[in-house]
């Protein structure tokens, strides 16, 4: 089938090209077009294929995807309206295209980064050489809320801490892909990668078939095999389960999706219990041993005996089972220290320290306000920097210097001098754009990319990842809660 | 192996789909019945509410005088969010139980329920309700038929499947008994003045239709259906898929399949089901008064069986929205 709108044989009118009047944002790179509005060489064929679909047909297909997501129940829950608050994550049918030749370097860079994160965690919960040798100051470590000193001396099965990593990447105005942040706890979004791909195959089959895109479907099997490979010794008949907070959690669809696609039970904390430092699941045939828990709940709610005695959530005693080496928890507890914003600036040194290699992927130049010299520089350049609280998230406690007023900057400078340790500063990055269909027109919208790295005995990188797009004109915010959507990511063969 | 919580959700998935279908059919049949048969006002729509175990709540929310108002009864039974047995609630909870067991039920089962749910939620259901009520109820029945067929053809035939079917059969047995019970005074010993009259025949026919039993029944008997014959058929015919006998047989078979053979799990349910079968067996040997009493025993026995099942396999009391009206013993 050819994706042509409304014509069926006989005289065909050429459809209106999709990218006919696409224009770039000044000072910003684009994932599909080079300066001068010529497609990048690797994207040329796909631009031609999508142009042939025609604007009207593309728009019609875009409309159909909404119903398809809804019917498939591919939704996320909105907390405020518990009972029936299911929304779809807005989806854009124009794919983000990734040069296959350049992807190999990204893959190596991601694997390297995950290896360093893992070595860092093993060391921090072990000997702490990196502190002793002065690469990371001890005071900084002790201030990280994700650091759990109680876990020192405990190593997870096969020494793997970060089984699933989501390393967020952005492309700057020079066209360089940079690491924006590491997610080593419970990165989410992979179900949308697979479901977005299914939508592309359904609604643009001809384009897809001729684009030669690397497959993403093996993710669940890769994850299952990776987790099986780091199972505790002597638990061959133990079950693997996915642990969810429950059906009202905003990411419940993803939890259920992964359980389904890995062929494992989806459990809630109340389905599990611990006896003699072993984990069991309650079944209609009595208790069954569990050896691997892919948990999608935060450390704080994992085990009330260990983390929060006031909490009724979690599986009492599961940390005892973990300490006894009787269960693999993925990701490992305590990982929050590795993806802390205060640790991020040290990551290039962390890579050099453990791997004796130069970092393959760059990252955003970051100033630690806790260092007097850097603080001085930040204070002198507030008008061109973004200053963030190390433990802030969602854009709170942040100053976007270029957009702030002189008075706002002055006030912020006062806070900064009062508690410099609490802040980092970065230049404002012009996130790259990707062509996106808005109201029937293809326009430039900013994107980021979350690739997923799965680690068992080895690391494997999902080709592509989740591309999030800021659907609002000029916006840098790709979060779904603030007008963000997603699109399929095509790594070409 | 199957998680207790998942088993419970499967069981209730089966019950809600069955309940929805049964309620839709009852409403559809009753619309035709009240047009045809001259019965006293109160006997026209009240039985529909009673069968669902909703009599008290209906009185409270809608009012006792509304029993004579078919439109208000239909509205309550189809749409009212305060009615836990309404069609919309049954669909919502069937889908919700499927949503929380999506890694267990087949993709096709989920899509069947979800697209129907979206159809209702998007307003199309309401439009059909206004324009063609009969077709609206038929759509519900078709959904159930589609769902059972899709399930049979796409899901692994092992424990979760068995739990869905156990839910279906126990719900169905309960529906059939209550439908008989609510019309019994029109058919049974207290209806001396109507026995053998066209009114009794009409009631018997409506009862059969409410159970999709008209044609199967006619294959078993000659002549004009009498109430006693119809009741006997609906209770005892082994081959009729909605008879109490058939449902209990299938439930016993399903129970055997899900009992793990360790630590006597399921023994309590087995015992209750045994009592129930005994009660059903005694029915035919008694006089008519005792037979009515026996219906009450059957309703209680079914509630006890479901309770035992909950105890044996799920290990906790049913949640409020499930308990309400589900096992309500309604006797007229």
Distance CA B240, CA A392 (A): 66
| Per-residue pLDDT at B330 | 33
Distance CA A154, CA A340 (A): 20
Size of interface A-B (CB pairs under 8 A): 69
Strands A286-295 and A239-243: parallel
| Per-residue pLDDT at A8 | 45
pLDDT at B41 over 90: no
- Closest among A430, A434, A472 to A33, alpha carbons compared: A434
* Residue B261 or A111, more confident: A111
- Closest among B283, B219, B286, B276 to B249, alpha carbons compared: B276
Tokens (6 digits) for A137: 């100051």
pLDDT at B328 over 50: no
Burial environment of residue A394 by CB neighbours within 10 A (0 to 12, 13 to 18, 19 or more): exposed
A74 in B contact zone (CB under 8 Å): no
List of chain A residues whose C-beta atoms are within 8 Å of the C-beta of residue B263 = 286
Grade residue B293 by pLDDT with cuts at 50, 70 and 90.
confident
Q: Using CA of residue A359, residue A362, residue A363, residue A368, what is the dihedral sign? A: positive
Region A426-441: what's the mean pLDDT? 93
Grade residue A171 by pLDDT with cuts at 50, 70 and 90.
very high
Phi-psi category of residue A151: left, alpha or beta, with phi > 0 → left and psi -120 to 50 → alpha: alpha
Q: Using CA of residue A67, residue A69, residue A72, residue A76, what is the dihedral sign? A: negative
pLDDT at A436 over 70: yes
Closest residue of B to A283, CA-based? Answer: B3
Region B39-57: what's the mean pLDDT? 88
- pLDDT tens-digit map of B256-282: 999 887 778 889 999 999 999 998 887
Mean pLDDT of chain B: 87
Region A37-46: what's the mean pLDDT? 94
Look at B260 and A285 and tell me if their CB atoms are within 8 Å.
yes
Q: Which residues contact A166 (CB under 8 A, 6 or more apart)?
A: A183, A187, A188, A189, A450, A451, A452, A453, A465
* Residue A254 or B40, more confident: A254
ipTM, 2 dp: 0.71
Residue matched to tokens 């895109």: A213
Region A71-88: what's the mean pLDDT? 70
Distance CA A32, CA A489 (A): 12
- pLDDT tens-digit map of A42-56: 999 999 999 999 999
B110 in A contact zone (CB under 8 Å): yes
Least confident of A11-20, A224-233, A317-326: A11-20
Distance CA A406, CA B18 (A): 67
A73 in B contact zone (CB under 8 Å): yes
Look at B1 and A282 and tell me if their CB atoms are within 8 Å.
no
* Angle in degrees, CA A81, A83, A85, rounded to 5: 50
Look at A288 and B1 and tell me if their CB atoms are within 8 Å.
yes
Look at A73 and B110 and tell me if their CB atoms are within 8 Å.
yes
Would you call the peptide bond into A331 cis, given omega within 30 degrees of 0 as the criterion?
Answer: yes
Distance from CA of A201 to the nearest CA of B (A): 18
pLDDT at A11 over 60: no
Query: In this complex, which of B4, B92, B103 lies closest to A283 when CB atoms are compared?
Result: B4
Look at A71 and B111 and tell me if their CB atoms are within 8 Å.
yes
| Per-residue pLDDT at B320 | 47
Q: Which of residues 283-312 of A touch B (CB under 8 A)?
A: 283-286, 288
| Per-residue pLDDT at B38 | 76
Distance CA A160, CA A125 (A): 12
Q: Compute CA distances A427 → A83, A168, A180, A401, whole Å.
A: 42, 17, 12, 9
pLDDT at A230 over 80: yes
- Closest among A308, A350, A311, A360 to A179, alpha carbons compared: A360
Distance CA A267, CA A406 (A): 53
B313 in A contact zone (CB under 8 Å): yes
Q: Which residues contact B281 (CB under 8 A, 6 or more apart)?
A: none
Least confident of A477-486, B5-14, B49-58: A477-486
Residue matched to tokens 């050896």: A291
- Closest among A240, A110, A104, A214 to A162, alpha carbons compared: A110
Distance from CA of A465 to the nearest CA of B (A): 23
- Closest among A344, A429, A427 to A386, alpha carbons compared: A427
Look at B96 and A260 and tell me if their CB atoms are within 8 Å.
no
Query: In this complex, which of A73, A239, A265 lies closest to B99 when CB atoms are compared?
Result: A73
- Closest among B157, B137, B102 to B24, alpha carbons compared: B137
The proportion of chain A whose per-residue pLDDT surpasses 90, expressed as a percent, equals 72
pLDDT at A194 over 90: yes
B115 in A contact zone (CB under 8 Å): yes
B154 in A contact zone (CB under 8 Å): no
pLDDT at A82 over 60: no
Closest residue of A to B311, CA-based? Answer: A284
pLDDT at A83 over 60: no
A71 in B contact zone (CB under 8 Å): yes
| Per-residue pLDDT at B102 | 92
- Say if residues A233 and A156 touch (Cβ distance below 8 Å): no
List of chain B residues whose C-beta atoms are within 8 Å of the C-beta of residue A285 = 1-2, 260, 262, 265
DSSP class of B86: S
Look at A284 and B313 and tell me if their CB atoms are within 8 Å.
yes
Length of chain B (residues): 332
Distance CA B161, CA A9 (A): 48
Look at B260 and A247 and tell me if their CB atoms are within 8 Å.
no
Distance from CA of B261 to the nearest CA of A (A): 8
Distance CA A97, CA A171 (A): 13
pLDDT at A394 over 90: no
The proportion of chain A whose per-residue pLDDT surpasses 70, expressed as a percent, equals 95
Q: Using CA of residue A472, residue A491, residue A208, residue A260, what is the dihedral sign? A: negative
| Per-residue pLDDT at A148 | 93
Tokens (6 digits) for A399: 């100053």
Length of chain A (residues): 493
List of chain A residues whose C-beta atoms are within 8 Å of the C-beta of residue B315 = 282
Residue matched to tokens 């600036």: A345
Region A20-43: what's the mean pLDDT? 92
HEC per residue, chain A:
CCCCCCCCCCCCCCCCCCCCCCCCCCCCCECCECCCCCECHHHHHHHHHHHHHCHHHHHHHHHHHHHHHHHCCCCEECCCCCCCCEECCCEEEEEEEECHHHHHHHHHHHHHHHHHHHHHHHHHCCCCHHHHCCCCCHHHHHHCCCCCHHHCCCCCHHHCCCCEEEEEEEECCCCCEEEEEEECCCCCCHHHHHHHHHHHHHHCHHHHHHHCECCCCCHHHHHHHHHHHCCCCCCCCCEEEEECCCCCCCCHHHHHHHHHHHCCCEECHHHEEEECCEEEEEEECEEEEEEEEEECCCHHHCCCCCCCCCCCCCCCCHHHHHHCCCCEEECCCCHHHCCCCCCHHHHHHHHHHHHCCCCCCEECCCEECCCHHHHHHHHHCHHHEEEEECCCCCCCCCEEHHHCCHHHHHHHHHHHHHCHHHEEEEECCCCCEEEEEECCEEEEEEEEEECEEEECCCEEECCCCEEEEECCCCCCCCCHHHCEEEEEEEEEC
pLDDT at A94 over 60: yes
Q: Beta-carbon neighbour count of residue B26 at 10 Å?
A: 25
| Per-residue pLDDT at A3 | 56
List of chain B residues whose C-beta atoms are within 8 Å of the C-beta of residue A260 = 102-103
B1 in A contact zone (CB under 8 Å): yes
SS3 B318: coil
Grade residue A241 by pLDDT with cuts at 50, 70 and 90.
very high
- Closest among B175, B114, B105 to B143, alpha carbons compared: B114
- pLDDT tens-digit map of A133-145: 999 999 889 888 8
DSSP class of B155: S
Region A443-448: what's the mean pLDDT? 96
| Per-residue pLDDT at B14 | 97
Region B196-210: what's the mean pLDDT? 84
Q: Which residues contact A388 (CB under 8 A, 6 or more apart)?
A: A341, A397, A398, A423, A424, A425, A426
Distance CA B78, CA A50 (A): 47
Distance CA A470, CA A483 (A): 6
Mean pLDDT of chain A: 90
- Say if residues B254 and B11 touch (Cβ distance below 8 Å): no
Distance from CA of A434 to the nearest CA of B (A): 32
Distance CA A401, CA A336 (A): 28
| Per-residue pLDDT at B331 | 31
DSSP string, B220-287: T--SSPPHHHHHHHHHH-SSSTTSHHHHHHHHHHHHHHH--SSTTTTHHHHHHHHHHHHHHHHGGGS-
Look at B4 and A260 and tell me if their CB atoms are within 8 Å.
no
Q: Which residues contact A201 (CB under 8 A, 6 or more apart)?
A: A208
Distance from CA of A21 to the nearest CA of B (A): 37
Q: Which residues contact A108 (CB under 8 A, 6 or more apart)?
A: A360
Grade residue A401 by pLDDT with cuts at 50, 70 and 90.
confident
Residue matched to tokens 């099997």: A221
pLDDT at B318 over 60: no
Look at A271 and B5 and tell me if their CB atoms are within 8 Å.
yes
DSSP class of B331: -
List of chain B residues whose C-beta atoms are within 8 Å of the C-beta of residue A271 = 3-5
């Amino acid at each position: 089938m050819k994706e042509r709108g409304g014509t069926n044989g006989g005289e065909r009118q050429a459809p209106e090209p999709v990218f006919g009047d696409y224009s770039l944002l000044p000072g910003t790179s684009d994932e599909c077009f080079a300066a001068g509005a010529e497609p990048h060489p690797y994207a040329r064929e796909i631009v031609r294929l999508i142009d042939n679909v025609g604007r009207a047909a593309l728009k019609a297909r875009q409309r159909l995807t909404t119903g398809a997501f809804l019917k498939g129940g591919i939704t996320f829950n909105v907390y405020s309206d518990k009972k029936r608050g299911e929304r779809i994550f807005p989806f854009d049918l124009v794919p983000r295209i990734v040069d296959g030749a350049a992807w190999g370097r990204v893959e190596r860079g991601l694997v390297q980064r995950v290896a360093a994160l893992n070595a860092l965690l093993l060391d921090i919960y072990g000997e702490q050489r990196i502190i002793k040798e002065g690469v990371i100051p001890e005071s900084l470590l002790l201030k990280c809320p994700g650091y759990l000193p109680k876990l020192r001396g405990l190593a997870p099965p096969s020494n793997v801490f970060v089984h699933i990593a989501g390393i967020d990447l952005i492309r700057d105005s020079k066209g360089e892909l940079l690491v924006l942040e590491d997610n080593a706890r419970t990165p989410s979004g992979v179900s949308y990668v697979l479901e977005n791909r299914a939508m592309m195959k359904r609604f643009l089959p001809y384009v897809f078939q001729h684009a030669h895109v690397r497959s993403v479907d093996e993710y669940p099997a890769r994850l299952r095999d990776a987790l099986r490979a780091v199972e505790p010794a002597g638990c061959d008949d133990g079950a693997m389960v996915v642990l969810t907070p429950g059906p009202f959690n905003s990411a419940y669809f993803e939890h259920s999706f992964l359980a389904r696609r890995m062929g494992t039970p989806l459990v809630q904390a109340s389905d599990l219990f611990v006896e003699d430092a072993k984990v069991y699941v309650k079944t209609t045939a009595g208790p069954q041993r569990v050896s691997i828990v892919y948990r999608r709940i935060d450390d704080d709610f994992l085990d009330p005996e260990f983390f929060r005695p006031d909490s009724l959530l979690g599986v009492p005693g599961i940390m005892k089972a973990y300490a006894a080496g009787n269960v693999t928890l993925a990701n490992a507890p305590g990982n929050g220290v590795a993806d802390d914003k205060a640790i991020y600036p040290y990551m290039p040194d962390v890579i050099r320290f453990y791997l004796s290699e130069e970092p393959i992927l760059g990252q955003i130049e970051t100033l630690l306000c806790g260092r007097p010299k850097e603080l001085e520089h930040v204070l002198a350049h507030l008008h061109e920097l973004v200053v963030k609280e190390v433990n802030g998230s969602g854009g709170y406690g942040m100053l976007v210097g270029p957009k702030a007023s002189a008075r706002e900057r002055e006030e912020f400078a006062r806070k900064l001098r009062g508690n410099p340790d609490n802040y980092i500063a970065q230049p404002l990055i012009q996130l790259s754009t990707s062509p996106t269909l808005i109201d029937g027109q293809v326009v430039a919208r900013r994107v980021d990319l979350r690739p997923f790295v799965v680690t068992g005995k080895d690391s494997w990188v999902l080709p592509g990842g989740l591309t999030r797009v800021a659907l609002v004109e000029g916006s840098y915010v790709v979060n779904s809660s603030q007008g963000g959507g997603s699109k399929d990511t095509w790594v070409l063969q | 192996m199957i998680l207790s919580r998942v088993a419970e959700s499967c069981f209730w998935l089966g019950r809600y789909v069955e309940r929805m279908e049964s309620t839709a059919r009852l409403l559809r049949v009753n619309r035709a019945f009240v047009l045809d048969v001259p019965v006293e006002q109160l006997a026209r729509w009240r039985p529909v509410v009673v069968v669902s175990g909703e009599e008290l709540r209906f009185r409270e929310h809608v009012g006792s005088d509304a029993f004579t108002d078919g439109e208000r009864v239909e509205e309550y039974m189809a749409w009212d969010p305060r009615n836990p047995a309404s069609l919309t609630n049954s669909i919502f909870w069937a889908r919700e139980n499927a949503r929380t067991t999506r890694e267990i039920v087949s993709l096709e089962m989920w899509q069947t329920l979800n697209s129907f749910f979206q159809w209702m939620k998007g307003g199309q259901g309401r439009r059909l309700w206004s324009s063609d009520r009969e077709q609206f109820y038929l759509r519900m029945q078709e959904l159930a038929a589609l769902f059972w067929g899709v399930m049979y053809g796409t899901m692994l035939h092992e424990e979760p499947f068995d739990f869905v079917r156990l839910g279906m059969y126990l719900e169905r047995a309960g529906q059939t008994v209550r439908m008989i019970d609510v019309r019994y005074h029109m058919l049974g010993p207290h209806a001396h003045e109507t026995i053998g009259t066209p009114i009794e025949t009409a009631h018997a026919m409506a009862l059969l239709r409410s159970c999709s039993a008209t044609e199967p029944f006619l294959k078993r008997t000659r002549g004009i259906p009498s109430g006693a014959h119809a009741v006997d058929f609906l209770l005892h015919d082994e081959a009729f898929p909605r008879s109490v006998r058939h449902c209990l047989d299938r439930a016993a078979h399903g129970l055997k399949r899900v009992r793990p053979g360790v630590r006597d799990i399921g023994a309590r349910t087995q015992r209750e089901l045994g009592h129930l079968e005994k009660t059903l067996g005694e029915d035919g040997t008694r006089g008519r008064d005792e037979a009515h009493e026996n219906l009450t025993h059957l309703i209680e026995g079914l509630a006890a069986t479901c309770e035992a099942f909950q105890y044996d396999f799920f290990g906790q009391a049913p949640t409020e929205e499930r308990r309400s009206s589900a096992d309500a013993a309604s006797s007229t």
